[in-house]
Amino acid sequence: MLLNRSKILLFGFKSLILLIITIFTPLFINAQFKLENWRTYTSMNNVVNTILDSKGRIWVGTSGGVFVYDPSNGTYKEFRNINGLLSTEITAINYNEQDKKVYIGSIDGVIDICTEDFEWTHITDIKKPKFTNPQIYDIVFRDSLAYIAGGFGFTVFDCKRQIFIETPPFLNEFQPNTPVYQILIKADEIWLATEAGIAYAKIKSTLGNPYSWTNLTQKNGLADKKVYSIAYFNDTIYAANAYKIFKLDSNTFLPVLTLDSYHIVNRFVVFRNDLYYSTQYMVGSLTKAFNIDCYKNQINGFSFLDINRILLYYKEKGLSLIVNNQESNITPETPASNLFLSLCIDNLGNLWSATDKNGRGRGFTGLINGKWKNFTREEIPEIVDNQYYKVRSSNDGRIALSNWGKGFLITNNTETDKFYFYNNLNSPLKGIEEDTNWVVTGETAFDRYGNLWIVNFGNQSNGPLLVVLDKNNKFYSFPNPVSPLNRYFINLAIDYNGTKWVGSNYLGGVLYFNERNTFDDKVDDIYGVFQMSNSQLPSNETNCIVVDKEGYVWIGTTSGLAVVLNPSSVLTGSKTIIRKSSLISEQPINDILIDALNNKWVATNNGVFVISSDGSSVIAQINTQNSPLLSDEVMALTSNNKNGRIYFGTKKGLIEATSLSVQPLPDYEITCYPQPFNPDKHKQLTIDGLAGDSEIRIVTASGELIRKLQSQGRITLWDGRNENGELVSNGIYLIFASSVTSNVSGVGKIAVLRK
């Protein structure tokens, strides 16, 4: 139960930023590891609700945050977990005319309160008790009180004193914490649409007393116990009960409208003496001829700005404004989906993302030259299908996308309006035994010659395991050489010897295959399989395979991490050494990223673990408790080695941060910042512009050695201390750097000023 009159945590926006900076500090075990400049990318195409503030601006709650649209000038403001919100999955939003603040409820129970000048307060009391369902469904105001409905039940919040004053444990005969979906205040009564029916009481009564409430259920004529929405119109209560609408007459519900059973009435709107309703497929009226067809793009609801202007809340298309029957979209440019299940960076530094499979996919997305471009079947029929779930890029700008059921597609980052689609009709790809046209492609990979290799998943059936498209656009195919009918494979990586490492998603282990660069000659092929029975694989089910900069093959399974220490052994017939990692064990490994410094970033359902370049230790752990990650379930990772940006893909959106893992320069261009450097204030000095494998000596102007540092990449940090751990004095210091792997060196200068 929510505690009455409980103390709440209040954070202004500035306080929130200070808190974030504070909790990021202990994030890293290694002093030469830092993440900064965090940024969140989410889709705002799933609109939940809208409200108007006193300035005429439209505040829009979405499953990816809040945006504010000003119709007077066409401008937007976007709010996510980095710049105001604590939670981005918004489920309720309303405007309190008394205090001129916007109240925003989320799926995890957080209530974010924002003034019209964008000053934030955060209420976390509902989230703290760990309710089974803390989601906020509705917020309604009367005088200085906010009445809040959610998966936990119903509570009353004093907006002036910022405390919860009443949380009814029972609504008469309903079970405790019965979910409440909507609140209606009519004159001196409060009505609740709930999971178990309708409950109502006098608003001035003791709402915490179960017997203050009256229940209306199926016994009173409702077709189903769950009531999604209620309305008060012409002195009558109306209730939405799945695909039926009822009106209350002398404590008995009478049906007034029955729709086709696939409809769910999700909203009532009373406007200018008419009662309107919506389902996911339409907007209609109970009092006059009115219809808006939404079968092509489903909606969550609607509202009227005035008699000539209607807002439609789309599930996948954002917010639309209809003016005199002309519809225009007024949603900011964002990704099409919050699903970022596969990521890659192309040769121009653009980010590409595939969404999902099994009906959840929303095509694929590119962050191209800093702008989002969405590729969905609805907008671009040439891509054929939306179930793209894997993406890879080549050094020459090709983007390969794997589809769950339709084959695979290739586009180019310089010609993103051209698509080359391949399936069983124009390639050796084959479908599954039950449906030969159902062609599933697993991961793709480009080899050193630019050939594209594709895994052809096919359950237990005849067909190729691997298909290759060479640079001349000619196809070759290879069956599973170990077990020809076993095509339960998805993952793919190619090592420096050209060996293909193919991972099974169904107890098949890891298969290795090397065609020795002779596509037509099968006699010289080398192949085999590793399973738990003949290696230290943690599991026979894999989720990802990557090759690091030293040539080691890292395998992420459903039960931990393993590494092949001598992958070339499969070509020579010597013993292959596969070691199970003890650093991350007994948990699914969702993805592995090898950064510019050969560190291994390992995505799990408990955040991201960063393993040192030699694989000996964990140098950082990143999760929702110490970073702005949207979810601990991180599904995909990628990086831009030229600028150190790391991308974290989740099912709730994408997070970007800047790291020190930057590709070194061929020669030194040393710059240091901040200057002058105050170790007491700045804590760390950044030394940028280094060549690879640098040995760095920091000396006084007279040549006295102060500190030695080493760096593999372009950037390193200095904490302002000497070799004895003491802070240095004010003065000018010189940096002498040289590369141990190339005959280059450089010099820099530091001004230390401690106040």
* pLDDT one-digit tens code per residue, 635-674: 999 999 999 999 999 999 999 999 999 999 999 999 999 9
In the chain, % of residues over pLDDT 90: 93
Using alpha carbons, select from 352, 355, 421, 341 the residue that is nearest to residue 383. 421
Domain membership flag for residue 135: no
Round the average pLDDT of the chain to a whole number and report it: 94
438 and 551 belong to one structural domain = yes
Q: Is the pLDDT of residue 4 over 90?
A: no
Q: Is the pLDDT of residue 751 over 60?
A: yes
DSSP string, 699-736: EETT--EEEEEEESSS-EEE-SB-TTSPBPPSEEEEEE
pLDDT (average), residues 193-213:
96
pLDDT digits (tens, 9 = 90+) for 341-400: 999 999 999 999 999 999 999 999 999 999 999 999 999 999 999 999 999 999 999 999
Q: For 472-483, what is each residue's pLDDT tens digit?
A: 999 999 999 999
* β-sheet bridge partners, residue 311: 303, 321
638 is a domain residue: no
Distances (CA, A) of 62 to 113, 182, 300, 655: 16, 18, 11, 17
Q: Are residues 700 and 594 in the same domain?
A: no
The residue count of the chain comes to: 755
For residues 697 and 592, membership in a common domain is answered with no
Looking at the structure, tell me whether residues 562 and 475 fall in a common domain: yes
Phi and psi (nearest 5°) for 219?
-65, -20
pLDDT on residue 737: 97
550 occurs within a structural domain: yes
Boundary residue ending a domain (599, 616, 640): 599
Per the domain annotation, does 656 fall within a domain? no
What's the number of domains the chain is made of?
2
Domain around 521: 342-599
Which CATH number does the domain housing residue 421 bear?
2.130.10.10
Instruction: State whether 458 and 371 are in the same domain.
Output: yes
CATH of the domain at 713: 2.60.40.4070
Q: Are residues 353 and 459 in the same domain?
A: yes
Query: Averaged over 451-465, what is the pLDDT?
Result: 96
DSSP 595-637: -TT--EEEEEBTEEEEE-TTSS-EEEEE-TTTS--S-S-EEEE
Specify if 702 maps to a domain.
Answer: yes
What average pLDDT does the segment 244-253 reach? 96
Asked if residue 562 belongs to a domain, the reply is yes
Residues 6 or more apart whose Cβ sits within 8 Å of residue 378? 297
Band of residue 28 on the pLDDT scale cut at 50, 70, 90: low
Is a pLDDT exceeding 70 seen at residue 27?
Answer: no
Of 599, 624, 653, the last residue of a domain is 599
One domain, residues 588 and 688: no
Give the integer Cα–Cα distance in Å for 497 and 571: 9
pLDDT mean over 244-271: 96
Confidence of residue 18 (pLDDT cuts 50, 70, 90): very low
Residue 17 has pLDDT above 80, yes or no: no
Mean pLDDT across 216-233: 96
DSSP 2: P
Position 271 scores a pLDDT of: 96
Q: 217 pLDDT band (50/70/90 cuts)?
A: very high
Asked if residue 111 is part of any domain, the answer here is no
Residue 417: the pLDDT is 94
- Model confidence pLDDT, tens digit, residues 318-351: 999 999 889 999 999 999 999 999 999 999 999 9
Asked whether residue 243 carries a pLDDT value surpassing 80, the answer given is yes
Smallest CA-to-CA distance from 669 within 573, 754, 735 is with 735
Whether residue 690 sits in one domain with residue 562: no
Q: Please say which residue of 568, 599, 630 terminates a domain.
A: 599
Of the candidates 653, 643, 630, 639, the residue with the CA atom closest to the CA atom of residue 601? 639
Tens-place pLDDT, residues 123-182: 999 998 878 899 999 999 999 999 999 999 999 999 999 999 999 989 999 999 999 999
Single-letter residue type at 250:
S
CA distance 408 to 395: 19
> Is residue 418 located within the same domain as residue 525?
yes
Q: Per-residue confidence at 30, pLDDT binned at 50, 70, 90?
A: low
- Do 676 and 553 share a structural domain? no
In a domain, 608, yes or no: no
| One domain for residues 567 and 686 | no
Question: Which candidate, 658, 13, 57, places its Cα nearest to that of 319?
Answer: 57
pLDDT tier at 2 (50, 70, 90 boundaries)?
very low
Is the same domain home to 411 and 518? yes
Q: Which two tokens mark 476? A: 């070759």
One-letter amino acid at 596 equals A
